[in-house]
Each structure stands twice: as C-alpha cells, then as structure tokens.
Amino acid sequence: MLCVSCRRTIASDADFCRFCGARQPTMGEEITAAGREIAEATAAVMTRIVENVKPFAKEVAVATDRAAKEVAKAMKPAAEKTGKAVEPVVKGAKKVTKSVARGTARVTAEAARKVKAAAKK
Ligand SMILES: [Zn+2]
C-alpha cells in the first residue's frame, strides 16, 4: 500500500510508514472514511438532482394533480354505472334467496309431516 503521507510503497499491514514514520489509518478508519466519502458524494449528487428538478417540481406536481383529477372524473360515471347495474342483481339475489328459503321451509314441513304420518302407522 501507499503511505498516506509520503505516498511511498510500504507493507500493507504496516501501522507506521518506514520512510516518514506517518501513522497509517487502520482498516476501520479507512472504512469510516470511505463511508463518509460515499455519503458526501451521495449527498452532493442528491443536492444536484434536487436543484436540477426544482424548476420542474411545481409543473410535475400540477400535472400529477391534474391527471389524478381527470382519472377520478373518468372513473365516476363508470362507478355510478356499476352501482346501478349491480342494484337489480342484489335485489334479484334477495328475491331468489327468499323464495329458496320459502321452498326449503315448505319441503321440510312436508317431509316432517310424512315422517310423522309414517311413525303413526
Ligand atoms: Zn510515508
């Protein structure tokens, strides 16, 4: 590796440079420094992106808002139509359920009567 101070080649596990005596950073320190550099670079890039987008941010927000409203408007008649279309089906289902219940009750009552009549014999 290279000495952090004089840039001469030294042993990769050296704690101090054998030429200038400068203390070499530990792996932990190097990782911390690299992490800090990455964080700083990321922050710089993000700042640049934000600054580049800023002039359009308002337009994007307005366009998104308009699109959302248009979608909602377009959906409304379809939603109302769906609601109206479903209504008779729901009513019909209730009617069918009622008649099935009535029919079941009648059949059950008849069966009970037959069973009673058979028991009397
Ligand atoms: Zn050195």
10, burial (CB in 10 Å: exposed 0-12, middle 13-18, buried 19+): buried
C-alpha 19 to ligand 1 mean position (Å):
5
Query: Of the candidates 1, 6, 44, which has an alpha carbon nearest to the alpha carbon of residue 22?
Result: 6
Please work out, in degrees rounded to the nearest 5, the angle formed at the alpha carbon of residue 69 by the alpha carbons of 65 and 74.
145
Instruction: Tell me the pLDDT tens digit for each residue of 43-52.
Output: 888 888 878 8
Q: How far is the CA of 23 from the centre of ligand 1 (A)?
A: 8
CA 32 to centroid of ligand 1, rounded, Å: 21
Check whether 60 has a pLDDT greater than 90.
no
CA dihedral 47, 52, 57, 58 (to 10 degrees): 120
What is the 113 CA–ligand 1 centroid distance (Å)? 110
Given a cut of 90, is residue 7 above it in pLDDT? yes
Q: What is the mean pLDDT of residues 73-86?
A: 80
Rounded distance from Cα 13 to ligand 1 centre (Å):
14
pLDDT tier for residue 75 given thresholds of 50, 70 and 90: confident
Instruction: Read off the pLDDT band of 97 (50, 70, 90).
Output: confident
Rounded to the nearest angstrom, the distance between the alpha carbon of 30 and the centre of ligand 1 is 17
